[in-house]
Amino acid sequence: MKRYLILILFTSNILAQQTTFNYEVDLTNKNDAFNVKLTVHSLSSKDDIYSFVSYAPGVHQPLDFGRFVKSFRVYDKEGNELITNKISINDFRIIEPEKVHQIIYEIDDSFDMSTTYHPIYPMSGTGITDNYTIINPHGVFGYFKNLKNEPIKLKLLLDDDLQIGTALNIDDEGNYDVESFYHLTDSPILIGKSLSYSSTMVDKIKVEVYVYSPSGGITADMVLDQASEILDAAKQFIGYSPVERYTFLMYFASHEDMGKMPVFQSTGALEHSLSSTYALPDMPQYLPYLKNIIAHEYMHILSPLHLHSNVLANFDYSKPLSEDKHVWLYEGVTEWVSYYMQVYAGNQSPQNYLNYLSEKVTNSENYSSEYSLIRISSDWSTDEGNKQYGNIYQLGPLTAAMLDFKLLELSNGEKGLRNVYLDLIKKYGKDNPFDNELFFDNLLAITYPEISDFIERHIKKNTPFDFENDLAPFGIKYYKKKLNEEGKPTIGLNIRPNKNNQPTVFSTSEDYKGTKVQVGDIITHINGTELSEDTYHSLMESFSNMKIGGTYQLDIIRNGENLKITEELYPKYDYHVFEFDDNASKDVITLRKKAIPNLGI
């Protein structure tokens, strides 16, 4: 038995008009592909190219979903096939578009692809598996360049025993309301035989969680339990309900799944306006680490949903979004918000906040100092720029934190970044994008002239922060390097997997000159125990029980030769340390308390 779900996509002011596009996707045909039929009512001679998505909002990698199209045919009303030509990897030219009545195509899912050429991360892709189907619509549906704002009617043909998770609103007749192709690509759908489900109300927001776990070891209730503190912190930080509903769509992968689908070697999450998709290992022990991921994705309900540029509002799916200067805002500030709101709500301690800043400083040093936040925004699609993109989540939140401190200093603690951020969101909102070129001017208009220098030095350029002076008004001390107070030893090696997943020395600390280890050495054993993903943490922990000057044995491979090395444990130094000054004046402590909520000191 088949079940028919009809998704009506329309805008409120054109209800009486005939729907331009009618999509039907058959998921009952077990050919491991999306079988799509598009019926159109009228095309003009200008609508002669049907395109599949090359790039999508929030996805900073090439997608090129046209490479998954298995067949593509176009017919007139009499059922006669019209001539089409594939003119590029994502584009099909239709001869005589005025005659088009139906477009029928098959498109593979991306989960089965190899990882040799532009692999698509599973949270951004499409998957048809035995137990669930994930539709990121940008990977299934195409578009006509000039018709992306037109309404669509979508029918899904499904087997009867399936559950569906989506943020699309459903009416009494089983219809889902969406506004445009932009909205469609912003609305993923998770379909499965045995999805677990849970929901709650966060103020006036209905939050829903759909989970597929192959082992059954992770349930929607468990996820919602982990998310509850985050959702409450968000409510306190925002102070109102900016959306009516939000949906978490999570599909976890077993070791067997990862073996079958190499794209799951890279896992993570992808934000959408009212939902987010999560592709993660099926390991319940990692659930606590899900909190910060959920926090980041959920807070995208503020930006870019309610604060975005005119460039993003008119997204061009055929090319990377390099004109938008404000990825630092969408991702960097959101990353800061996702942690700061936990401090604001009392879920993270003030010292943890300082440790968070320390971590961001340290991590940002792994990237080129030549790339400012603006340059990362514009160059991420280049080979070198893409290598630097990860810094948006390190330098970005660090810069947001320092902007917060600067605003609080200038306002004597009355207006920090939280206040400015929420004011901007209220000023612009979902349907009123800001001018990409004028945003900094508008930011200055509601803050202080001194912020112009901050923007120039730390957003447009990548001038290092003077933490010692910048944080002195708040009674926060900074040490670039400090001997660990607990007297713990360290091996002084930066060990990471190489491209063959072998534990490899990527760098040695400049503080430990006597090491015999060289960059590029592959470490096979430590003190006779094989070094692997499973043993790494226990082996590193074992060193904390040893004394400085103690020795340990390494088995390494260097240039194909097996070697045994005896190494010495060194004094451990901490880097980029932030501490509260216990001797700060009363006025300084007063300002500090305004900067860091729930300080208590």
Decide which of 302, 331, 363 is a domain's last residue: 302
Reported as a single tens digit per residue, the pLDDT across 318-357 is 998 888 999 999 999 999 999 999 999 999 999 999 999 9
Domain CATH code at residue 549: 2.30.42.10
276 in the same domain as 388: no
Reported as a single tens digit per residue, the pLDDT across 257-275 is 888 888 888 889 999 999 9
User: Which is nearest to 108 in space by CA: 132, 126, 135, 123?
Assistant: 126
193 in the same domain as 60: yes
Secondary structure string (H, E, C) spanning 16-54:
CCCCCEEEEEECCCCCCEEEEEEEECCCCCCCCEEECCC
600 alpha carbon, distance to own chain's centre: 33
The CA-based dihedral angle spanning residues 383, 388, 390, 393, taken in that order and rounded to the nearest 10 degrees: -140
The pLDDT value recorded for residue 598 is 73
Residue 250 in tokens: 């999570």
Element (H, E) at 281: strand 275-281
| Residue at 45 is within a domain | yes
Domain CATH code at residue 399: 1.10.390.10
Residue 558 sits in which domain range?
489-571
Residue at 20: amino acid letter: T
Element (H, E) at 81: strand 81-82
Q: Is the pLDDT of residue 18 over 60?
A: no
275 in the same domain as 389: no
Reported as a single tens digit per residue, the pLDDT across 531-571 is 998 899 999 999 988 999 999 999 999 999 999 999 999 88
Determine the average pLDDT of the residues in 103-107. 98
Q: Is the pLDDT of residue 14 over 80?
A: no
239 in the same domain as 134: yes
Domain CATH code at residue 87: 2.60.40.3650
Count of residues in the chain: 601
Determine the average pLDDT of the residues in 99-120. 91
| Residue at 180 is within a domain | yes
Burial of 328 (0-12, 13-18, 19+ CB in 10 A): buried
147 in the same domain as 39: yes
Q: How far apart are CA 601 and CA 592, in angstroms?
A: 9
Tell me the backbone φ, ψ of residue 478, rounded to 5 degrees: -130, 135
Cα separations in angstroms, 66 against 108, 187, 328, 401, 421: 10, 20, 30, 41, 38
The pLDDT value recorded for residue 265 is 83
| Residue at 469 is within a domain | no
Decide which of 241, 268, 302 is a domain's last residue: 302
| Residue at 151 is within a domain | yes
336 in the same domain as 279: no
Predicted confidence band of residue 518 (pLDDT cuts 50, 70, 90):
very high
| Residue at 314 is within a domain | no
144 in the same domain as 114: yes
Of 55-69, 229-243, 505-519, least confident by mean pLDDT is 505-519
Give Cβ neighbours of residue 590 (< 8 Å, ≥ 6 apart). 413
Partners of residue 529 on adjacent β-strands:
526
Percentage above 90 pLDDT, the chain? 76
444 in the same domain as 339: yes
In 138-274, at which residue ranges do the beta strands (DSSP E only) sit?
Answer: 143-144, 152-159, 163-166, 169-170, 176-177, 189-192, 196-202, 205-212, 245-253, 268-271
Helix axis angle, 334-344 relative to 350-364, nearest 10°? 160
Determine the average pLDDT of the residues in 94-114. 95
Whether this model's pTM surpasses 0.85: yes
Decide which of 255, 274, 302 is a domain's last residue: 302
350 in the same domain as 275: no
Partners of residue 37 on adjacent β-strands:
24, 104
Q: Is the pLDDT of residue 49 over 60?
A: yes
Q: How far apart are CA 220 and CA 501, in angstroms?
A: 32
Residue 413 in tokens: 């603690």
Q: Of 175 and 342, which is predicted with more confidence? A: 342
493 in the same domain as 438: no
The pLDDT value recorded for residue 173 is 62
Tell me the backbone φ, ψ of residue 314, rounded to 5 degrees: -110, 50
289 in the same domain as 140: yes
Number of separate domains in the chain: 3
Determine the average pLDDT of the residues in 106-134. 91
277 in the same domain as 173: yes
5 alpha carbon, distance to own chain's centre: 30
| Residue at 408 is within a domain | yes
